[in-house]
């Protein structure tokens, strides 16, 4: 009698590559904060010493504040979308892993 060929081994999908996380370094955070502070001071001084009427100065200040707040809002929306896509990706991967773990290729089909 000849021996039957070995059955294929099912490899669990638990060792999937994780999405790379890129934590912000303290140097990058300091550079970003310093850059923001310097640009805010520069635009404030520029508006303050501009030789124009006060209503023009106020208009420019409100425009600068609007630009700053919209930049923060845009950054938050981009971050939230990225986090949502990462969560959806993890949920989809978990569903596939569950289906593969529950699948038994040697079980006879129940009709």
What are the tens digits of pLDDT across the range 5-61?
555 554 455 555 555 566 789 999 899 999 999 999 999 999 999 999 999 999 999
Angle at 55 between CA 68 and CA 71, to 5 degrees: 5
Q: Which residues contact 80 (CB under 8 A, 6 or more apart)?
A: none
Task: Answer whether residue 44 is part of any domain.
Answer: no
Task: Answer whether residue 76 is part of any domain.
Answer: yes
How many domains is the chain partitioned into structurally? 1
Rg (the chain; Cα; Å): 29
Task: Answer whether residue 87 is part of any domain.
Answer: yes
pLDDT for the residue 30: 93
Task: Answer whether residue 25 is part of any domain.
Answer: no
Distances (CA, A) of 21 to 24, 30, 83, 86: 9, 20, 11, 10
Task: Answer whether residue 30 is part of any domain.
Answer: no
Task: Answer whether residue 34 is part of any domain.
Answer: no
What's the pTM value of the predicted model, to 2 decimals? 0.55
Query: With 70 as the cut, is the pLDDT of residue 1 above it?
Result: no
Task: Answer whether residue 71 is part of any domain.
Answer: yes
Confidence label for 71 from pLDDT (cuts 50, 70 and 90): very high
SS3 content of the chain, % helix, strand, coil (to 5): 70, 0, 30
CA 11 to chain centre: 30
Task: Answer whether residue 96 is part of any domain.
Answer: yes
The whole domain housing 71 covers: 53-100
């Amino acid at each position: 009698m000849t021996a039957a060929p070995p059955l294929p081994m099912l490899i669990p999908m638990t060792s999937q590559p994780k999405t790379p996380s890129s934590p912000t370094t303290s140097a990058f955070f300091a550079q970003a904060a310093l850059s923001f502070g310097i640009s805010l001071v520069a635009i404030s001084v520029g508006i303050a010493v501009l030789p124009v009427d006060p209503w023009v100065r106020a208009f420019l200040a409100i425009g600068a504040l609007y630009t700053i707040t919209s930049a923060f809002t845009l950054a938050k929306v981009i971050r939230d979308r990225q986090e949502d896509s990462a969560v959806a990706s993890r949920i989809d991967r978990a569903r596939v892993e569950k289906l593969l773990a529950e699948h038994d290729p040697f079980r006879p089909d129940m009709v």
